Amino acid sequence: MRIFIEKLKAADAESLYTFEIENRTFFEEMVPTRGDDYYKPEVFKARHASLLAEQAEGTSLFYLIKDEGGSILGRMNLTDIHQYGKAGDLGYRVGQNYTGKGVAKNALKLLLETIDELDVEEVRAKTTTNNIASQKVLEQNGFRRTETGDDEFEMNGQMCKFVHYTWTNRQANQTGA
């Protein structure tokens, strides 16, 4: 399956809302819930507008992972991009019908290939101890596991901790940028 990543646009609101509704139960098995309010149409629209404003400011980038037909397969975010620290926090989610097909792995690879254009030298990520698939995606893209948090929490009846990862842009470090 050929995929691409595309920056979030205002026109994506309706299809992204549908994607989130269709995958809510699946997502909430692996990551903490966004809460019931997030799924109210008026709240979702306001949050979408807020994300677009944040993207326009350059403090965060929000991407949709799409197939050749333009269907949304997932989303990927690089948030809290620090102008002076040149670092950002990664987040991603792939729809249930597209897991296990290399979508997250390939989308992350595409994002990291454009990292020089973003003037980012370090990308941080975290996942939960029970999300082995996400850990593999990060490690297959050169992320290094830096720590497992001390605090344990319950999610869907399982005790979990956060696992932290870091990716460093080798090219920026080699050129002294």
Q: Per the structure, how many domains does the chain have? A: 1
For residue 90, what pLDDT is reported? Answer: 97
Mean pLDDT of the chain: 91
Residue 60 identity (one-letter amino acid): S
Taking alpha carbons only, the member of 56, 52, 76 closest to residue 66 is 76
Cα-to-chain-centroid distance, residue 95:
12
Cα-to-chain-centroid distance, residue 106:
13
For residue 84, give both structure tokens. Answer: 């002076």
pLDDT tens string 20-76: 999 999 988 777 778 889 999 999 999 999 999 999 998 899 999 999 999 999 999
List the CATH number of the domain containing 156.
3.40.630.30
Q: Quick check: 26 and 78 in contact, CB under 8 A?
A: no
pLDDT band at 171 (very low <50, low <70, confident <90, very high): low
pLDDT tens string 115-162: 878 778 999 999 999 889 999 999 999 999 999 999 988 877 889 999
For residue 172, give both structure tokens. Answer: 């920026």
DSSP-based helix, strand, coil % in the chain, nearest 5: 40, 30, 25
Domain that holds residue 107: 3-175
